[in-house]
Amino acid sequence: MFKTLREDIRSIKERDPAARSSLEVLLLYSGLHAVIYYRIAHWLYMHKRYFLARWVSQHAKFKTGIEIHPGAKIGKGLFIDHGTGVVIGETTEIGDYCTLYQGVTLGGTGKDKGKRHPTLGNNVMVGAGAKILGPFKVGDNAKVGANALVLSEVPPNATAVGVPARIVKLNGERVKRTADLDQIHMPDPVSQEICRLQHKIDSLQKEIDNLVENHIQ
């Protein structure tokens, strides 16, 4: 337990430039507090103390604003940055050194039984407000842009953005554990389509202008 806690703190310090000391992270980071509560609740859940497990998880929700079902499986080094509004469902699986920003939902679609929630590989970054819904995998080193809606599998080393999410980067350089956490500078498929349409409109406008000019002459 304490070894895992040390690893969680070290992982946060590596990825958050605002973290000044281990003591600050331990005492003041609600994301870490939520993970600590989760590990206690998960232990109770695995020992079939279901009521106590849910009580601990609900207490954590009120204290931190982060809801993690005790049945979820979470690896080491999870960093929940800010964290308010994060929801992690019962059959979610999260690998090592993942990063979740505020408002992230790892949920189900309401239609599945058994495994209902997503599986995140290692070193996955999920941007603020993103929703990943369904029993599929987001591969190692993948990035999900802010406010994306992911409804299908994301390959390893891919970047997914948009509603619904589309893969806009695949098989780039491998993301190290101290991953690039930039949520802003990602290709936007909607903007790209708007630019394409604007270019087409400009071309048509030029053709119309030429026709009018020739007609006048």
pLDDT tens string 124-176: 999 999 999 999 999 999 999 999 999 989 999 989 998 888 888 777 644 44
**Cα→Cα distances 168→99, 143, 192, Å:** 20, 10, 11
> How big is the chain, counted in residues?
217
Q: Is the pLDDT of residue 177 over 80?
A: no
- Name the residue with higher pLDDT: 13 or 91: 91
Confidence (pTM): 0.73
pLDDT at residue 205 in the model = 87
Q: What is the pLDDT of residue 174?
A: 46
Tell me the C-alpha to C-alpha distance, in Å, between residue 70 and each of 38, 54, 108, 215: 6, 7, 16, 74
pLDDT in tens, 46-86: 999 999 999 999 999 999 999 999 999 999 889 998 888 99
pLDDT for res 24: 87
> What pLDDT, on the 0 to 100 scale, is given for residue 94?
95
* Residue 92: predicted pLDDT: 94
Q: What is the rounded distance in angstroms from the CA atom of residue 157 to the CA atom of residue 170?
A: 6
- C-alpha span between 59 and 52 (Å, rounded): 10
**CA distance linking residue 63 with residue 71, whole number of Å:** 19
Q: What is the CATH T-level fold of the domain 2-186, as seen in this structure?
A: UDP N-Acetylglucosamine Acyltransferase; domain 1 (2.160.10)
Residues 1-28 pLDDT 10s: 667 788 888 888 888 888 888 888 888 8
164 Cα distance to chain centroid: 14
